[in-house]
């Protein structure tokens, strides 16, 4: 994991063993912590989305990302992880720098995205590169795929009367409704009413 690991002198005799088994031990410890903490967070939005959404179709569509952007470098952050990172960004309205910090320090976010506790978070440059890839190559895929899964999970909600304000709405105006739907996903998919103030910065 870290070739520059500093091992105390009193452990020098077992230093090779520590270096050999440090990574699996840290991953095991991370899984143990997640298991204990996540068990009490079943009502959290990210926990619900983790069990609701299937990213397989998105991961398949974006499988060429590293080939187009990796320049032959080893893959550090998988497409699946980066897709989940983008979902966190859209849910919480984070800037890329704020998103980097949230992944680094928020345990539940780190678990949802797919990193163990001691894994390095992607920096804002990496996140920007992937978000730009989505905009250029798959501008509608993320939105359409996730919305379809929500509608499949809550089929009755799409037939309920809904109110909407079409003032100054762009072609992707339903994105605001989608985000609100994520936030209320535990109790069913609901759409903001006309008195909700849309965040035009999302579009």
**Alpha helices (H) in the chain, listed in sequence order:** 15-38, 45-52, 56-61, 65-69, 79-92, 96-105, 107-113, 124-137, 141-153, 174-183
> Would you say residue 200 has pLDDT above 80?
no
Prediction pTM value:
0.68
List the structure tokens of 25: 């031990």
Average pLDDT over residues 1-11: 66
Backbone dihedral angles phi then psi of residue 191, each to the nearest 5 degrees: -115, 140
pLDDT beyond 80 at 71? no
The residue-averaged pLDDT of 68-87 equals 84
Least confident of 68-72, 91-95, 179-183: 179-183
Q: What is the mean pLDDT of the chain?
A: 79
Annotate 19-47 with DSSP letters as a single string.
HHHHHHHHHHHHHHHHHHHHTT-TTSHHH
pLDDT tens digits along 21-69: 888 888 888 899 888 888 888 889 899 899 889 999 999 999 989 887 7
Q: Where are the domains of the chain?
A: 1-40, 154-202
């Amino acid at each position: 994991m870290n070739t520059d690991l500093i091992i105390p002198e009193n452990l020098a005799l077992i230093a090779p063993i520590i270096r050999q088994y440090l990574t699996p031990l840290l991953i095991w410890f991370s899984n143990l912590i997640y298991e204990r903490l996540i068990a009490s967070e079943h009502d959290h939005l990210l926990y619900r989305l983790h069990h609701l959404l299937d990213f397989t179709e998105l991961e398949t569509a974006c499988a060429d990302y590293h080939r187009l952007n990796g320049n032959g470098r080893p893959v550090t952050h998988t497409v699946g992880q980066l897709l989940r990172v983008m979902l966190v960004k859209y849910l919480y309205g984070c800037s890329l720098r704020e998103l980097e910090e949230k992944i680094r320090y928020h345990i539940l976010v780190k678990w949802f995205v797919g990193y163990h506790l001691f894994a390095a978070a992607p920096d804002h440059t990496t996140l920007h590169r992937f978000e730009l890839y989505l905009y250029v190559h798959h501008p509608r895929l993320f939105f359409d795929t996730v919305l379809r899964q929500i509608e499949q999970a809550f089929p009755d909600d799409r037939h309920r009367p809904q109110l909407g304000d079409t003032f100054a709405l762009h072609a992707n105006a339903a994105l605001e409704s989608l985000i609100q739907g994520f936030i209320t996903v535990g109790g069913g998919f609901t759409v903001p009413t006309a008195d909700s103030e849309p965040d035009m910065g999302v579009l």
